[in-house]
């Protein structure tokens, strides 16, 4: 495995739409392993193909590893099937360091994807995992978190 360089804005590849993955082979597994290693070293919770110059519809994610509950996931050719509710989350991006945003996204998403063998998978994600899935999925279409309205911090409740 190897650490991959992470692209930063204004690299134009971050604004491109990625091609579907069609070859489910050892090279794809190697890319996914390198992406996971790079994500952990960054340290991030998700990383999409275009962030490392791989212009394919692949992203990796592990929302629990920083809390001691590692569960790495690999998503190939992901498609959001359904999305409900609304949640406001703070998001950062490894390709836009030092520029966190607060954005509204659906609170629950149903995602379909393929695994490393090309098998069809489907699952529901909620909470931070839902935001992460959507954030990384956006990268595959050249959409960045800074493209959404940056919502202000809520006003503190007055003390009476």
Q: Which are the catalytic amino acids?
A: 136
Query: What are the CA-CA distances from residue 35 to residues 42, 52, 56, 95 (Å)?
Result: 10, 8, 12, 14
- Give the strand order in the sheet containing 120-126: 46-48, 58-61, 73-84, 108-114, 120-126
Q: Quick one: tokens of 82?
A: 């359904």
Unique residue bearing structure tokens 């001691």: 68
Phi, psi of 119 (to 5 degrees): -75, 145
β-pair type (73-84, 120-126): unpaired
CB 44 within 8 A of CB 96: no
Tokens encoding 41: 């070293």
Question: Between vectors from CA 115 to CA 7 and to CA 137, what angle results, nearest 5°?
Answer: 40
């Amino acid at each position: 495995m190897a650490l991959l360089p992470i692209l930063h804005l204004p690299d134009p590849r971050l604004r491109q739409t990625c091609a579907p993955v069609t070859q489910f082979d050892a090279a794809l597994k190697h890319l996914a392993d390198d992406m996971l290693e790079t994500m952990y070293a960054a340290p991030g919770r998700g990383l999409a193909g275009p962030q490392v110059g791989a212009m394919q519809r692949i992203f990796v994610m592990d929302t629990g590893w920083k809390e001691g509950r590692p569960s790495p996931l690999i998503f190939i050719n992901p498609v959001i099937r359904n999305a409900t509710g609304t949640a406001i989350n703070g998001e950062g991006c490894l390709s836009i360091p030092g520029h966190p945003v607060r954005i509204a996204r659906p609170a629950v998403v149903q995602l379909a994807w393929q695994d490393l063998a090309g098998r069809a998978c489907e699952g529901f994600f909620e909470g931070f995992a839902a935001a992460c899935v959507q954030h990384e999925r956006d990268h595959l279409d050249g959409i960045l978190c800074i493209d959404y309205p940056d919502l202000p911090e809520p006003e503190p409740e007055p003390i009476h």
